[in-house]
Amino acid sequence: MMAQMAVAMPLMLAGEQGMFHFPSADELRLQPISRADNEADWPFSVDDGTLACVWSGGQRVVMFFEGRSEGLEEDETFQPRQVIVTTDPMQLTLGNMASRDLFRPAASVEERIRLVAPFATLGQKLCDQPAGARVGHGEL
């Protein structure tokens, strides 16, 4: 018991979560985002979605979730695809293999990093908001 508390205490003091922490919905930070008409460097293959700050592996991770398609009825189930938004080439490529089509095509990993970098920065600002924050368009 004492050993467990000795390990957990620095995490609690730092306001961080442990490696096996399962976040609740009120810990998420969300911001809806959408592509502007004249935006040439939009990195995603869909025009709108939600930028989110979530806990994964004991650290905050920025993710993008696609928005609900306009053609879906309200009672139809919708499982949005999601990708990790980061400038780390390993997470950006290998971590997003299952939903890589949520990114628009890029000629190289370097180009994808360049396109994603502003959204990774925006997501880190979102992570700095209080737990449970819902930030509106243009508030960060």
Q: Which residues of 74-105 are buried (b: 16+ CB within 10 A; e: fewer)?
A: eeeeeeebbbbbbeeeeebeebbeebbebbee
The owner of tokens 């628009």 is 104
Higher pLDDT, 56 or 138: 56
Residue 44: which of 92, 87, 105, 94 has the closest Cα? Answer: 105
φ, ψ (nearest 5 deg) of residue 78: -135, 120
Query: Which has the closest alpha carbon to 131: 28, 56, 57, 53?
Result: 28
- Distance from CA of residue 60 to its chain's centroid? 9
Q: What is the pLDDT of residue 19?
A: 57
| Residue 84 and residue 93 in contact, taking contact as beta carbons nearer than 8 Å | no
- Of 1 and 103, the structure prediction assigns the larger pLDDT to 103
Q: What is the pLDDT of residue 138?
A: 61
Please indicate, yes or no, if residue 117 is contained in any of the structural domains.
yes
More confident residue, 13 or 78: 78
113 part of a folded domain: yes
How many domains is the chain partitioned into structurally?
Answer: 1
In one letter, which amino acid is 136? G
Residue 31 domain-assigned (yes or no)? yes
As a residue count, the chain comes to 140
Average pLDDT over residues 24-44: 84
Q: Is 120 contained in some domain? A: yes
Residue 4 domain-assigned? no
Tell me the average pLDDT across 17-27: 59
Asked whether residue 5 carries a pLDDT value surpassing 50, the answer given is no
pLDDT in tens, 80-89: 899 999 999 9
Domain hosting residue 114, numbered range = 17-69+79-127
Query: Is residue 123 domain-resident?
Result: yes
Has residue 121 been placed in a domain?
yes
Would residue 30 count as lying in a domain?
yes
The answer to whether residue 77 scores a pLDDT higher than 90 is no
CB 96, CB 84: distance < 8 Å: yes
